[in-house]
Amino acid sequence: MALTQVSSNKCAGGFQKVFEHESTELKCKMKFAVYLPPKAETDKCPVMYWLSGLTCTEQNFITKAGSQLTAAEHGLIIVAPDTSPRGCSIEGEDESWDFGTGAGFYVDATQEPWKTNYCMYSYITEELPKLINANFPTDPDKMSISGHSMGGHGALICALKNPGKYKAVSAFAPICNPMQCPWGQKAFSGYLGSDRSTWEAYDATVLAASYSGPQLDILIDQGRDDQFLSASQLLPDNLIAVCSEKKIPVVFRLQPGYDHSYFFIYSFINDHIKHHAKYLNA
């Protein structure tokens, strides 16, 4: 589990770093970003995982979201992995922006030719936390998860599929019901095959309907002028309806004038980090 440091920059009193490692789950080299707050020099810190959206790498969040000052203030380590395996020489992996490279959808693929490498769900929930806990001053019992768009979908399913593992979950403009939207249908058909019953294990709306675990307080921000909201890719109403039926607490904020971009994330990231800190530092 050797790590190679790719970059390190002093930031908000701590360090924003990027590392590379050979992934056993994904069978390729993977990069991840890690923000180490000043507190990490002397104490163990909780970890918030951030999952990015379609086409992103580990770079987008750390350069655009402006998360470091608030993470430093609350003593949180933030880990931002890549969004898919890279350079696996799979035919068709670079053909479209919403499938293959940069679009791992945080599932474990069962279909050829994807199933050997495209195991992002296991990478995020198993391999990466072990790697982080072995190499950084973490409190291994205190982790949470957040993300944007495809990564918001990833954050929600990771929390709902693993009751008690994540102390908090939040999302920006998540794909809430992928079985019912074009992005999800394309990805799930390719990675999981044509049997739609296998898709249910990775759909937050379906998972929420059968959730029985410790209380999970979900925070979701959604831009009202998000072009993908109006294109019915995100479908937050479906998730909210199920959560209210199941009495799963959701704070859903529809933010007037905001779109799907990192300008939107930058505007509200502090609220999300505070939401996570409330549960991680309890």
pLDDT digits (tens, 9 = 90+) for 84-115: 999 999 999 999 999 999 999 999 999 999 99
Catalytic residue annotation: 149, 226, 260
pTM confidence score: 0.98
Average pLDDT, the chain: 98
* DSSP 3-state of 3: coil
Question: 150 and 83 in contact (C-beta within 8 Å)?
Answer: yes
Q: Compute the average pLDDT of residues 16-39.
A: 98
pLDDT for res 61: 98
Q: What is the topology classification, in CATH, of domain 4-281?
A: Rossmann fold (3.40.50)
Residue 207 has pLDDT above 70, yes or no: yes
Give the per-residue pLDDT at 167: 97
Q: What is the pLDDT of residue 1?
A: 67
Average pLDDT over residues 168-180: 98
Question: pLDDT digits over 217-262, tens only?
Answer: 999 999 999 999 999 999 999 999 999 999 999 999 999 999 999 9
Q: How big, in percent rounded to 5, are the helix, strand and coil portions of the chain?
A: 35, 25, 35
Residue whose C-alpha is closest to residue 264's, from 226, 233, 217 = 226
* Secondary structure (DSSP) of 97-152: TTBBTTB-TT-B--STTTTTT-BHHHIIIIIHHHHHHHHS-EEEEEEEEEEETHHH
Structure confidence at residue 29 (pLDDT): 98
Domain residue extents for the chain? 4-281
Residue 151 in contact with residue 50, Cβ under 8 Å? yes
135 and 1 Cβ atoms separated by less than 8 Å: yes
Secondary structure letter of residue 253 according to DSSP: E
- Give the tens place of pLDDT for each residue, 44-81: 999 999 999 999 999 999 999 999 999 999 999 999 99
CA distance 114 to 9: 35
